[in-house]
Structure 1
Amino acid sequence: MPAQLKTHRGRSRKRHIAIAAATALAVTLAGTSCEDDQNGPESAPTGPGKAGELRILAGSEIADLEPLLERAEEEIGVTVHLDYTGTLDGVQQVVEGQTEERYDAVWFASNRYLNLYPDGEAAVRTEEPIMASPVVMGVSESLAIDLGWDEGAEVSWSEIASAAAEGQLSYGMTSPAASNSGFSALIGVASALTDSGTALRAADVERVTPELRAFFTGQQLTAGSSGWLSEEYVRRAGTDGPGAELDGMINYESVLLSVNESGKLPEPLTVIYPSDGAVTADYPLSLLAGTTDEVTAGYRDLVDYLSSPEVQREIMADTHRRPLSTEVSAEADFPAVTELPFPAGSNVVNELISSYFDEIRKPARTVYVLDASYSMEGERIAGLRKAMTTLTGGDADSISGQFQRFYAREEVTLLAFDGAPRAPETFTVPKETPDPVLTDIKETVDGIGLGPATAGYDALVAAYDVLAEESASNTEQFTSIVLLTDGEVNTGRSLADFRAEHADFDERLRDVPVFTVLFGDGNTAEMEELAEVTGGQTFDARESSLDAAFREIRGYQ
């Protein structure tokens, strides 16, 4: 008798945000929660694959197919193990051989970036695209009418850039270093703006940077996942605060259609299919090299099942993704989209992503509120120092690490606390010769001494005070607060006290999210409530590492 489907959020992404934030779409459409089960099974065992099992390293976008995979297991007898990871982290695991004897297959939204690396392309034995969704723009219906972008209008990426530059359009987009939708959007916009009809080249990146700056003046929200982006857009659309000014978002077509179907928006989004094209995710289920014949047979069975007309219709109905079955495609009613060419070299892509953070989009402004109580002694403070070393460029040689460092123009405040907040120290990373400042940040963290008690909420208010002293008109930064504490707040303000004060903050400050890190013996319920109150998110470092959690937070800064 076939076993039950096993889904794992283990060592690759065993954190609340990995599933809950990245799969709002699944929750909305399927009516099931994909939140991480901290008491669930561990990752699939290492070693050669087994007949009747398939261990898959997947992008979080795949999580909304879990109910379908569970039923598929019952019908075809293949037990599926899923571990979730970010696109660039996943590519790095494949390229460096970390997937060998751990996974039988990978399932990302796209293999385009993976295929830019010879070792990545060679690691894939075969791949089968399962479904498709282009990355396009959704704009509130009323604004689309005002701009003449209502249904059927031809709108180019250049016209969207002009509207953004003139202050007519504000939008959210995921980070291209954390999420495939943001990555695809950046590649698509840059390729379209070159207007060459050929794949983006290194020389093109510098040439189109001014136009890209104009385009990204409209970006007022960043995110680490397409699911969290859509959730936050819906939340802001229902408020009167400063965050409510978003006019739309760049996301998968499937997400935009699903948000409209949910009925949660005051007005629907008009989906804009740029006339000069887009980059499409085709979700290839990819068998890794070196798998056994038995595992390969299970892979084929699963591909055949997912590609069958009946299941393709179900995927289309439940997720709004485009079917790839010829029979079902003929029945579908999706607008035609021109596919933009993808760059041929990783150097072009990496240069574009670096330019996006260092020159093109508005910079990040973050206050790191760091627990320096005695409970942090030993491995915990060492973990914090390692995490900050990564952010100061200590992992710049890895595929994902090169984009998780502090960026040029970024403003960073370190605010340590024990029984009381300590004096904040602020650093601005220059575009030229950033290393001395990055070294100062690292040495400041290395020099944090420990003290008694944990006044976490006093320190949090002090962080807001730092931001309050800055120009009230400064909206040209992605501002956030990161709170790390490994224990119960046991002195000073309580969460209730903080909530009362937060309600009286001016609108600009109330809109600053707090990203909380679950660590050590910290109060999980309080940290999750704090994130919810401030419009932030919770990251779980209890069973992974602070380094991994801080890397993930970078997608939201």
Structure 2
Amino acid sequence: MSRVRRAGTLLAVLLLAVTAACTADKPATVTLRVLASSDLTDLRPVLDRLEHETGVRLVMDYRGTVDAGDALTPPTDEHDLAWLSSDRYLRLKLKAAGYTGPVPLSTKIMDSPVAIGLTPAAADRLPDRPTWADIADAAAAGRLGFAMADPRHAGSGLAALIGVATAATGAGRALRPEDVTCDRLGGFFAGRRITATSTADLVARFVAGQDSVDALISYESVLLSVNAGGRLRQPLRIVYPRDGIVLAEYPLLLLNPRQRAAYDKAVAWLTGADGQRMIMRTTLRRPVDPAVTRDPRLGPAIGNSLYFPDQQETIDRLLANYRAGGRPGHVIFVLDYSGSMRGARLAKLRATFDGLGGVDRTSSGKFARFYPGERITLIRFGRTVLGERTFTVEDQADIDAMRAFLGGAEPAGRTAVWSALDHAYRIAATARRAESDRPVSIVLMTDGENNAGAAIDGLLPRWREVGVPTYAISLARAAPPDLGRAASATGGRVAEATTDNLRDAFKDVRGCG
């Protein structure tokens, strides 16, 4: 064999060996279908590196976290994995549906708390580290308009809604269905200016309307990315409500057990040091590996993390209140001005309305205050209706006018409770016919039994037909049984009070429709 032929043969052998070695080094590709939260579109560079180093290709089907949770039906789902901002909504949904099969294997990949990005001007109007109550108070006073994703579709919107509703209870535990009342959230909803069904759309709308809105409520990673994107005239100041936040943990769920090996390989890379660092650099989400040095742009330790509700009914009520929160309500207050209300009781009643007008600076007071667009009807009654006036709250002048109305008369005479309540139901029926989309409710406050005017029995059927709840506050030593009948028949409830805690009772049954 000639030298040329031997050299050619040797070169061919070497090329075959190199090719074989390269082929052996490159892992075989496994493709997994992933139902993913829409805010994970920023992971594309991470997914490309994952595939290059492990051979696991993740084909993402992006949807809102809540929409994704509603779409999942393990174990028959068409996807191999799910990667959501949180799997807690999914778990509640499966529990409520009576699902008894195996719970999908879940591994946390990264974290991002819900935070609030404030314009510098808005931040200057609030405490250095505001609470959710401060945010609700500013929204109710017309000083803060915000952008927030629709919680019926997007995980960030649902997490923010859970955060503000949990803080409103002040209970330090997970929300329960009975905790969710529209009267505590109406002021917060008054600040809603921009919404969208996905994080990407929300950010785009916020950037386009940045001159007309004061805050963006979303995940920390989203706020940091918006600040870094160069599209804002002034960067947002990111704050973490000190009464607690809800944390997105971005778990990766295994839906198809036959793909366990590929799932384990992907999880090992994503939670390893290199994967965690790349996720943090690319998306500004927090690493779950404590050994990875945190990017200095990420905020301090998260602190107080609020509990996620453990009942589907709680979530359903929250979303129903959000849906109804698009129109400020009409609350009709029916207030006992009979002779027995003289002195300390009347002073407390007037002080209570001062608090609802914004004077009460407690956390619960900030959530319960009157807010722009809300319609308030005040009825004073004794033996008959002594006075009636309706206000639409726009500014402090309207609050002052309500205060003047309540201060312009003194109690006298006997107590015609049911005649006064019937008068309120006539107003409510007219309001419902005129504006069917505005929620209406009645709050009745009395310190004694009915001793004048109509009896309750002939009026209850008509009140039921109107479809407006009555929330009753009793200042008597024991609530008269008929108060309970009126409240129960109309879908409301009774709160017993004393002169000392009258303000708390009004906040508890504030009314909103």
TM-score normalised over the length of structure 1 = 0.52
Aligned to 1:78: 56
Q: For 1:249 and 1:131, how far apart are their aligned partners in 2? A: 22
Deviations 1:206-236 (A, max 9, x none): 2xx2231111111111111111111111122
Q: For 1:430 and 1:328, how far apart are their aligned partners in 2? A: 52
SS at match of 1:53: strand
Residues 48-447 of structure 1 mapped to structure 2, 5 A cutoff: 52-95=30-73, 98-99=76-77, 102-116=78-92, 117-118=94-95, 122=101, 124-145=103-124, 147-149=125-127, 153-206=128-181, 209-237=182-210, 244-288=211-255, 290-292=256-258, 295-328=259-292, 333-337=298-302, 338-358=304-324, 360-362=325-327, 430=437
Deviations 1:383-408 (A, max 9, x none): xxxxxxxxxxxxxxxxxxxxxxxxxx
SS at match of 1:134: strand
Residues 528-539 of structure 1 mapped to structure 2, 5 A cutoff: none
Deviations 1:272-314 (A, max 9, x none): 10001111111100112x522xx21111110111111122112
SS at match of 1:257: helix
- Residues 1:429 and 1:308: Cα distance change in structure 2 (over 3 Å): farther
- TM superposition shift of 1:317: 1.7
Q: Please tell me whether the aligned partners of residues 124 and 287 of structure 1 are also in contact (alpha carbons under 8 angstroms).
A: no
SS at match of 1:357: helix
Q: For 2:294 and 2:217, how far apart are their aligned partners in 1? A: 27
Q: For 1:80 and 1:59, how far apart are their aligned partners in 2? A: 13
Q: Say which one has the larger Rg.
A: 2
Q: For 2:136 and 2:308, how far apart are their aligned partners in 1? A: 20
SS at match of 2:308: coil
- Residues 1:210 and 1:127: Cα distance change in structure 2 (over 3 Å): same
- Residues 1:430 and 1:312: Cα distance change in structure 2 (over 3 Å): same
Q: For 2:224 and 2:112, how far apart are their aligned partners in 1? A: 11
- TM superposition shift of 1:123: 5.2
- TM superposition shift of 1:96: 6.7
Residues 16-35 of structure 1 mapped to structure 2, 5 A cutoff: none
Structure 1 residues without counterparts, runs of 5 or longer: 6-49, 238-243, 364-426, 434-557
- Residues 1:135 and 1:95: Cα distance change in structure 2 (over 3 Å): same
- Residues 1:362 and 1:256: Cα distance change in structure 2 (over 3 Å): farther
Q: For 1:120 and 1:133, how far apart are their aligned partners in 2? A: 29
Q: Please tell me whether the aligned partners of residues 86 and 179 of structure 1 are also in contact (alpha carbons under 8 angstroms).
A: yes
The one-letter amino acid paired with 1:72 is: L
Structure 2 residues without counterparts, runs of 5 or longer: 1-22, 329-433, 441-513
SS at match of 2:41: helix
Q: Please tell me whether the aligned partners of residues 139 and 272 of structure 1 are also in contact (alpha carbons under 8 angstroms).
A: yes
How many residue pairs match? The answer is 307
Q: For 2:438 and 2:191, how far apart are their aligned partners in 1? A: 22
Q: For 1:330 and 1:219, how far apart are their aligned partners in 2? A: 33
- Residues 1:331 and 1:234: Cα distance change in structure 2 (over 3 Å): closer
Q: For 1:124 and 1:108, how far apart are their aligned partners in 2? A: 15
Deviations 1:187-223 (A, max 9, x none): 11100111000110111112xx223111111111111
Q: For 2:263 and 2:67, how far apart are their aligned partners in 1? A: 23
- TM superposition shift of 1:330: 6.1
Q: For 2:250 and 2:318, how far apart are their aligned partners in 1? A: 23
Aligned to 1:389: none
The one-letter amino acid paired with 2:283 is: T
- TM superposition shift of 1:122: 4.3
Q: For 1:319 and 1:64, how far apart are their aligned partners in 2? A: 6
The one-letter amino acid paired with 2:198 is: S
Q: For 1:315 and 1:124, how far apart are their aligned partners in 2? A: 27
Q: Please tell me whether the aligned partners of residues 84 and 252 of structure 2 are also in contact (alpha carbons under 8 angstroms).
A: yes
Deviations 1:324-359 (A, max 9, x none): 11101567652222210111100111011111112x
- Residues 1:225 and 1:331: Cα distance change in structure 2 (over 3 Å): closer
- Residues 1:343 and 1:278: Cα distance change in structure 2 (over 3 Å): same
Q: Please tell me whether the aligned partners of residues 287 and 294 of structure 2 are also in contact (alpha carbons under 8 angstroms).
A: no
Q: For 1:182 and 1:218, how far apart are their aligned partners in 2? A: 14
- TM superposition shift of 1:168: 1.0
SS at match of 1:328: coil
The one-letter amino acid paired with 1:187 is: I
Q: For 1:141 and 1:355, how far apart are their aligned partners in 2? A: 31
SS at match of 1:82: strand
- Residues 1:96 and 1:56: Cα distance change in structure 2 (over 3 Å): closer
- Residues 1:330 and 1:251: Cα distance change in structure 2 (over 3 Å): closer
Q: Please tell me whether the aligned partners of residues 43 and 282 of structure 2 are also in contact (alpha carbons under 8 angstroms).
A: no
The one-letter amino acid paired with 1:308 is: G
Deviations 1:502-530 (A, max 9, x none): xxxxxxxxxxxxxxxxxxxxxxxxxxxxx
Aligned to 1:523: none
- TM superposition shift of 1:51: 8.1
- TM superposition shift of 1:361: 3.5
Q: For 1:318 and 1:198, how far apart are their aligned partners in 2? A: 35
- TM superposition shift of 1:86: 2.6
TM-score normalised over the length of structure 2 = 0.56
SS at match of 2:32: strand
- Residues 1:254 and 1:348: Cα distance change in structure 2 (over 3 Å): same
- Residues 1:255 and 1:284: Cα distance change in structure 2 (over 3 Å): same
SS at match of 2:209: helix
